[in-house]
Amino acid sequence: MDTARLIRRADCVWEMPREGAMRVPAILYGSEALIRDMDDKVHEQARNVATLPGIVGASYAMPDAHWGYGFPIGGVAAFDPEAGGIVSAGGVGFDISCGVRCLLTGLRHEQVLPVQRRLADALFAQIPAGVGSTGHIRLNSAATEAMLTGGARWAVAQGWGLAEDLERIEEHGQMQHAKPACVSMQARRRQREEMGTLGSGNHYLEVQRVSDVFDASIADGYGLHAGDVVVMIHCGSRGLGHQIGSEFLLHMAEEAPHFGLTLPDRELACAPIRSDLGVRYLGAMRAAINCALANRQILTHLVRQVFAELLPQADLRVLYDVSHNTCKLETHRVDGRARELFVHRKGATRAWGPGHPELPPALRDHGQPVLIGGSMGTGSYVMAGTAQSASLAFASACHGAGRQMSRHQALRTWHGRAVVDELAARGIVVRSPSSRGIAEEAPGAYKDVSAVVDAAHDAGLARKVARLAPLVCIKG
């Protein structure tokens, strides 16, 4: 991206001034190197988002931003229903509520190393992964309805987890105002055998050690110490979320002229928040969020079973669970007054600051744990929401490394077996049903996650707390 088209407001803050049909400016977060390496499509898409009705503040792009469908991945935008604001399926993404859960284990690195390979094999055997993967759970119509309404709370009630898990999950494990009736039969069918599965693409389950601590006070409050072992689960709403996204994007594109919407890009298909189509999409999307929360809860239960067998002294507790691809109704102060806004975060993580009432009491003084998943083999990060994050991008931060190479290009560059061998030489055990999938997700296909995290930290979006180095990686 040509930085000459931007105004540098701070070391890691860049502005695209209003021009043409833009209703607000666009703000891009990142170091100069990250901004220069961003696809020009990010500039175009951030500008296009700024033209949408009812947008408030600015169109934002996080330091890991890259080209996406309609909105850039790493895009954040808030819309006011009182000002004709819209909801966009492309502003949420296809993998609705794709997110990350981090589990504390109570174990030290030296306790896990002797069983590292056995642990990898057992997790791979227990956790279904890959394209079209199915699990042992079969949902009938009534169970599907209950899952779409209850989320992780439903899963816990079925025996997959602990009541105390819910305190450490966004929305306390259940997205309110979900409308399963707005979820098509095809979406339901796609999910009936996919509960408790990882899926493919960039989804993974990793056993990690805390390799570095940057803020000892917050890390201690989170229960993280150098040498501790944690588990990170990265997945979403599987086939159900993809089906909902695909169906509503088509409906929104068809209905745009009836709403008087002139869009710079068909991929920005949207509907007024208070239209029947907007209400139906929000109801279906919230049901998909519940699906993802239930899915990660079931996976947590399966992981606990594996650890109980191999490392019975382990005590797996949820640190936090955050979603990336969502649109949520939130209260934010804008121009000195509180406003109810629909905040789209596509490939971006909510990052409440210290004292926020939605955080559990044990975490409230420290700010929300912001879980940043790295690319396979490169490491992940735990950050914390800051006091100023709400005023920067509606309390949002980056969500991962962000791709810098297409999957096709990655396949031409790497072979899956070679990637597995290279990681094994570094002490990282990888298990996957797909050599092709490993090549597509090779570490070099992603941006430097440390550079992304440093930029988010320097911009004030979130504060660095700890780095997590992989020991075992289960890939789809």
Say which range, 2-11, 164-173, 263-272, 441-450, has the weakest mean pLDDT.
441-450
pLDDT greater than 90 at residue 421: no
* pLDDT interval class at 415 (50, 70, 90): confident
Tell me what the mean pLDDT of segment 284-294 comes to.
98
Question: Does residue 73 register a pLDDT over 90?
Answer: yes
pLDDT at site 439: 87
pLDDT, averaged across the chain: 95
Residue 446: beta bridge partners? 403
Report residue 251's pLDDT band, with 50, 70 and 90 as the boundaries. Answer: very high
- Averaged pLDDT, 223-238: 97
Going by their DSSP bridges, the two strands 99-108 and 228-235 should be labelled as antiparallel
Instruction: Locate 312 and state its tokens.
Output: 């019975």
Tell me whether residue 399 is one of the annotated catalytic residues.
Answer: yes
Residue of 139, 244, 248 whose CA lies nearest to 191: 139
- Whether 133 has a pLDDT exceeding 80, the answer reads no
Measuring CA to CA, which residue among 381, 387, 244, 277 is closest to residue 322?
Answer: 381
pLDDT in tens, 75-84: 999 999 999 9
pLDDT digit string, tens, across residues 75-129? 999 999 999 999 999 999 999 999 999 999 999 999 999 999 999 999 999 998 8
pLDDT at 322 over 90: yes
Q: How many CB atoms lie within 10 A of CB 189?
A: 13
Average pLDDT over residues 172-201: 94
The percent of the chain in helix, strand and coil, each rounded to the nearest 5, is 40, 25, 35
Segment among 336-350, 386-400, 421-435 with least mean pLDDT: 421-435
The side-by-side arrangement of strands in the sheet containing 73-79 is: 7-10, 13-16, 26-29, 55-66, 73-79, 337-346, 326-334
The set of residues, in sequence order, having a beta carbon less than 8 Å from that of 409 and lying 6+ positions away, is 445
CA 373, chain centre distance (Å): 9
Question: How high is the pLDDT of residue 117?
Answer: 97
Domains and CATH numbers, the chain: 3-475 (3.90.1860.10)
Residue 137 reports pLDDT greater than 80: yes
- The pLDDT value recorded for residue 434 is 82
Q: What is residue 377's predicted lDDT score, i.e. its pLDDT?
A: 78
Quick one: pLDDT band at residue 476, thresholds 50, 70, 90? confident
The predicted structure's pLDDT at residue 250:
96
Q: Look at residue 132 and tell me whether its pLDDT is greater than 90.
A: no
Q: For the ranges 98-107, 114-123, 287-296, 409-418, which has the lowest average pLDDT?
A: 409-418
Q: Using CA atoms, how far apart are residues 318 and 101, in angstroms rounded to an integer?
A: 7
Among the listed residues 66, 324, 366, 399, the single catalytic one is 399
pLDDT of residue 346: 97
What is the per-residue pLDDT for 316? 98
C-alpha–C-alpha distance, residues 142 and 471, integer Å: 40
